[in-house]
């Protein structure tokens, strides 16, 4: 799938605890039908084969909505399932190595929280970066608070698109106006909601408003 930054508008990241009894496939389809533009499968508590099975099922759903499926931290799952790309943290595989393995057609994202690391990610072949925790977060205990000013500085210092992550929800998305964000990454605001479809629809409207104005 050819990468375009418009894919990043509403970046939905799965979380087993948030999804609970709603079910992974059902929740992802509800998110996409509501307006999510890209899905990242993040499930650190399962083995390789289970993760591949989850990726296979989600890939079919994502293709139905023409949305990329990104795998968190695991290049091997991308290779085995044909998922659209991988997202790597600072403690994961080097971006340069991932690009060598996956080639030019796959989407690669990286997590950064400084201008220096953002520039390095761009030079290393990342298609986009995720930066945060912009507002703090409940889903990653080790995430450090970044704030909107530092986030905006990162956006200004790279040419690749930057997605805001970390505690992003319908209340604080407007605070990202003018920062240069190309999208918002959400976990609990979508998958922890009672009505995933309606939450995704509202979040997409807010995301579009800070990306495109209006």
What residues act catalytically?
42, 111, 140
Q: What is the DSSP string of the chain?
A: ----GGGGSEEEE--HHHHGGG-HHHHHHHHHHHT--EEEE--TTS-HHHHHHHHHHHHHHHHHTT--EEEES-HHHHHHH--SEEEE-TTSS-HHHHHHHH-SSSEEEEEE-SHHHHHHHHHTT-SEEEE--SS--SS-TTPPP--HHHHHHHHHT-SS-EEE-SS--TTTGGGGTTTT-SEEEESHHHHTSSSHHHHHHHHHHHHHHHHH--
């Amino acid at each position: 799938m050819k990468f375009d930054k418009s894919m990043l508008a509403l970046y939905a990241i799965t979380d087993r605890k948030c999804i609970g009894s709603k079910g992974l496939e059902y929740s992802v389809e509800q998110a996409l039908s509501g307006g999510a533009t890209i899905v990242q499968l993040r499930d650190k508590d399962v083995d390789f084969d289970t993760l591949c099975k989850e990726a296979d099922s989600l890939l079919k759903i994502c293709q139905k909505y023409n949305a990329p499926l990104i795998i968190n931290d695991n290049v091997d799952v991308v290779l085995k399932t044909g998922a659209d790309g991988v997202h790597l943290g600072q403690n994961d595989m080097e971006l340069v190595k991932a690009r060598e393995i996956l080639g030019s057609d796959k989407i690669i994202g990286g997590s950064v929280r400084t201008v220096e690391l953002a520039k390095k990610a761009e030079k290393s072949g990342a298609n986009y970066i995720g930066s945060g925790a912009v507002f703090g977060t409940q889903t990653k205990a080790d995430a450090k608070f970044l704030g909107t000013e530092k986030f905006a500085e990162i956006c200004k210092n790279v040419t690749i698109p930057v997605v805001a992550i970390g505690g992003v929800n319908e209340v604080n998305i407007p605070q990202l106006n003018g920062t240069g964000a190309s999208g918002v990454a959400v976990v609990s605001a979508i998958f922890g909601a009672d009505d995933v479809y309606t939450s995704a629809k509202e979040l997409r409207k807010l995301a579009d408003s800070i990306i495109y104005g209006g």
